Structure 1
Amino acid sequence: MTDLNQALPNRKIRIRKTGVWPGVFFYLGGLMLLAVAGFIGVWQAPGVVNDWLVASDPVAVPDATITDGECHARRVVFVDCSAHVAYEIEGKSVEHDIDLMFVNFHTGDYEVDVVRSASQPNRAALSLGLDMLWNRTLVDSALVLGIAAAGTGLFAGGAKSDRSRRLARRESTLDLREVKVAQINPVLGGKYVQFQYGADRKGKPLLALSRFGGKEEPYWLDGQRGMALAALPEGASVPVLLDAELKRLDASPPEIATIAERLKGMMAGA
């Protein structure tokens, strides 16, 4: 197996450009997802808790009125419903705005009644909300936890990105290695190159993204544009994908020319 590190000069080298987004973009995305999770929780949790309390001692309210009742299907299976209900208890008028969200493949209208709590008559719910109570509890919990987990994952990704950038930009002993390019996606002003740099304990590929300018290309180690050259800084876990002209390395032009010549000779003899 060819030792690509023999192409490097005998000194520590800094990487000028990593092609990795600063962590702040991940943090902003994480904050947005956590805000969405919080919004869903604030929007749905009070109604779910209320309906569990009503479900513990339900009483039908046959003389209640329901106005502005409507349901909308989102992405086929997500249904959100809203309605305004009003009824009287001992001569006092009680009104509630009710919002529900659940998963259902039902098409068409829903028939609903108003149900209140026997012990707390001011608490009211729709019969549809009680019928879908477990559904709503699981769906709302899954949405909040799933979106919050994704937001937390972005924070972790931002920390990992900042660490990779920090380690790459200090002088260290680099470890050159081959990585497999998975795909190249054009973006405004350049391209994103996704590459596999290893596998986790379960054998799942470890993937990373590197941004290149419009005229930049990875340093290809084969003629099929499948294997590229990357450099792993000392102490880092994610390598930096190098460019075809090796300008990402903080080396002098004569050193870069020597590195390129050595790599060319290694690839020819491989």
Structure 2
Amino acid sequence: MTFPNIQLPQRALMLSQGVISTPKASFFSLPVLIALTAFLAISETPGILRDWTINQNPVVLDSGDIRDGKCSTRKGFFTNCSAHLNYTYKGQSYDKDVEIMFVDIHSGDYDTNLVISGDHPDLATLSLGLDMLWNRIITLAVFVALLGGTCLAMIFLILRVWRVRGQLREPARLEPVPVEITGFDRRRQRLSVTYADKIGGRKTGRAGHTHFEPGQEPLIVGENGGKAVGLAVWHGNTALPVLLDERLERIEMTPEERTAALAPLAAELGDSRPGLVVQGKKGWSIKARLAAALLVILLIIGGIFGYWLWYVTSATSQFTSPAMDINNMMPESVNRWGCDQLKKRFGDQRAPFGCTASDYSSWK
């Protein structure tokens, strides 16, 4: 699809300063995300490292005392458990506070024991923490990766905008390009517009954000797929195009040059010049959305079940993760059957998590 275009003077032109901006929300959300990522890593990593060490040589203390033990579940599957441990080992008394976080779909209470490291008796935890060790590692890794990745992406986008703004301080040849208006907001007589390079030219898919002063409107040249299409320009080799205003005041040109550039556009669009507000396409019905959501859920359940079935019947190692965690979360009868299948192939080796007896080594 083609859209009306303009002819600009064939020389290096300056653009107004501040025509590319960063959404203010980025400067508020970025510190929050960084703090949340650091908090998760700092609060959970020491406990995981402690339990990893204990798991190398676990010793269950039946004489140990577990006090104030409690678990709370948020959002249906984020579980946090804490307890105070008091025990004596080889004449030495210890007091420890333990807190663990993991993902689990569970109802009712957890049965747990006090476990210490045979090599480092000052390290103690709950057997539940060892049972969920890989679960905790994967949960922490996923959260840190998602939050940390989001932080890095936001930092990259902010730096890219700053670099573009620096490049706009110098004149350069301008290349018109249609862009899709993905969102806009009018507040206090000021218009904020988000747009993306998805339609013509380079089609980088990159999104830009800009503010228009009171009385200014973006240069709209059509609509595509229910969304308005604006006219922007590439400034030399910048990473983002700059959305133009309808009077071309963002480009340093003479009034005569602006009139000459806009004349063909006005003649082509006539009185039917499109506006910023364009009626979008009708979305899916509620029934279709529910059906799609149900299909996705069924596919996920089917995929998880197939992965678990492969693990218990065909995996080359009984310690395949996260299959061990999935097997542990299965109903007791299904878990028992899965462990029996694993035991047929690995019965002469250590039992994996989910199939261990009370000594955390032999098969149950």
TM-score category of the 2 structures, normalised to the smaller one = 0.7 to 0.9
For this pair of structures, how many residues does the alignment match? 264
For structure 2, the residue ranges without an aligned partner over 5 or more in a row are 271-364
CA shift at 1:40, angstroms?
1.3
Measure how far apart 1:114 and its partner are: 1.0
Q: 1:209 to 1:107 in 2, by over 3 A?
A: farther
Structure 1 residues 21, 70: CA separation in 2 closer, same or farther (over 3 Å shift)?
Answer: farther
Which residue of the partner structure matches residue 38 of structure 1?
38
Alpha-carbon spacing, 1:37–1:187, altered in 2? closer, same or farther (3 Å): farther
- Give the 3 Å change call, closer, same or farther, for CA 187–81 of structure 1 in structure 2: farther
Q: Verify the 8 A CA contact 2:193 2:209 in the aligned structure 1.
A: yes
Q: Which residue of 2 aligns with 1:151?
A: 151
**Aligned residues of 2:4 and 2:265 also touching (Cα < 8 A):** no
Check whether the contact 1:184–1:193 (CA below 8 A) recurs between aligned residues: yes
1:212 paired residue number? 212
What letter matches 2:12 in structure 1? K
**Does structure 2 retain, via aligned residues, the 8 Å contact 1:29–1:151?**
no
Distance 1:146 1:139 in 2: 11
- Offset of 1:127 from its aligned partner? 1.1
Is the Cα–Cα contact under 8 Å of residues 76 and 105 in structure 1 kept in the other structure? Answer: yes
Superposed CA deviations along residues 148-200 of structure 1, whole A, max 9, x for unmatched, are 2221112211121112212233211111111122233455764442322138x
Equivalent residue of 1:4, what SS? coil
SS of structure 2 residue aligned to 1:67: strand
Q: Residue 261 of structure 2: which of 249, 259, 262 is its match?
A: 259
Instruction: Find the counterpart in structure 1 of residue 242 from structure 2.
Output: 240
After superposition, the Cα gap between the structure-2 partners of 1:218 and 1:238, relative to the gap in structure 1 and judged at 3 Å, is same
Contact 1:176–1:230 (CA under 8 A) maintained in structure 2: yes
Matched residue, 1:52:
52
Of residues 189-198 and 106-115 in structure 1, the stretch that sits farther from structure 2 once superposed is 189-198
Aligned residue in 2 for 1:4: 5
Give the CA deviation at 1:122: 1.2
Q: Give 2:70's aligned residue.
A: 70
Q: 1:212 to 1:127 in 2, by over 3 A?
A: farther
Shift of 1:215: 5.1
| Residues 1:89 and 1:118: Cα distance change in structure 2 (over 3 Å) | same
Give the letter aligned to residue 130 of structure 1: L
Going from structure 1 to structure 2, the CA distance change for 1:231 and 1:127 (only over 3 Å counts) comes to same
Q: Contact 1:24 / 1:158 at 8 angstroms: preserved in 2?
A: no
RMSD, aligned α-carbons: 2.9
State the secondary structure of the residue aligned to 1:16.
coil
Say whether the 8 Å CA contact 2:206–2:240 is kept in structure 1: no
| Superposed displacement of residue 216, structure 1 | 3.8
Q: Secondary structure at the match of 1:221?
A: strand
Kept in 2: contact 1:71–1:79 (CA 8 A):
yes
Q: Is the 8 A contact 2:67 2:84 kept in 1?
A: yes
Q: CA deviation at 1:5?
A: 4.7
Q: Aligned partners of 2:72 and 2:189: how far apart in 1?
A: 40
In 2, the alpha carbon distance for the partners of 1:81 and 1:213 equals: 53
Question: Which segment is superposed worse, 66-75 or 94-103?
Answer: 66-75
Q: TM-score, normalised by structure 2?
A: 0.64
Structure 1 CA distance for aligned equivalents of residues 255 and 194 of structure 2: 28
CA contact (8 A) 1:18 1:241 kept: no
With 134-143 and 85-94 compared, the bigger mean Cα shift is at 85-94
Fraction of identical pairs, as percent: 27
1:195 partner amino acid: Y
SS of 1:44's partner is helix
Structure 1, unpaired ranges of 5+: none
Contact 2:54-2:124 within 8 A present in 1 as well = yes
Describe the shift of the 1:50–1:187 C-alpha distance in structure 2 as closer, same or farther (beyond 3 A): farther
After superposition, give the CA deviation of every residue in 1:102-135 in whole Å (9 maximum; x if it has no partner): 1112133322221111222111111111111110
1:125 aligns with 2:125: yes
Q: Is the 8 A contact 1:2 1:266 kept in 2?
A: no
**Contact in 2 for aligned 1:23/1:162 (Cα 8 Å):** no
The aligned runs of 1:78-93 (5 Å cut-off) are 78-93=78-93
SS class of match (2:198): strand
Q: Are the equivalent residues in 2 in contact too, given 1:102–1:139 (CA < 8 A)?
A: yes
TM-score, normalised via structure 1 length: 0.84
What does the per-residue CA deviation read over 1:53-89, in whole Å, with 9 as the maximum and x for residues that have no partner?
1112111122222223222223322222222111112
Q: Distance in 2 between matches of 1:77 and 1:55?
A: 24
Instruction: Give the letter aligned to residue 148 of structure 2.
Output: A
Measured against aligned partners, the alpha-carbon deviations of 1:21-43 in whole angstroms (never above 9, x if no partner) come to: 35998577545433332221111
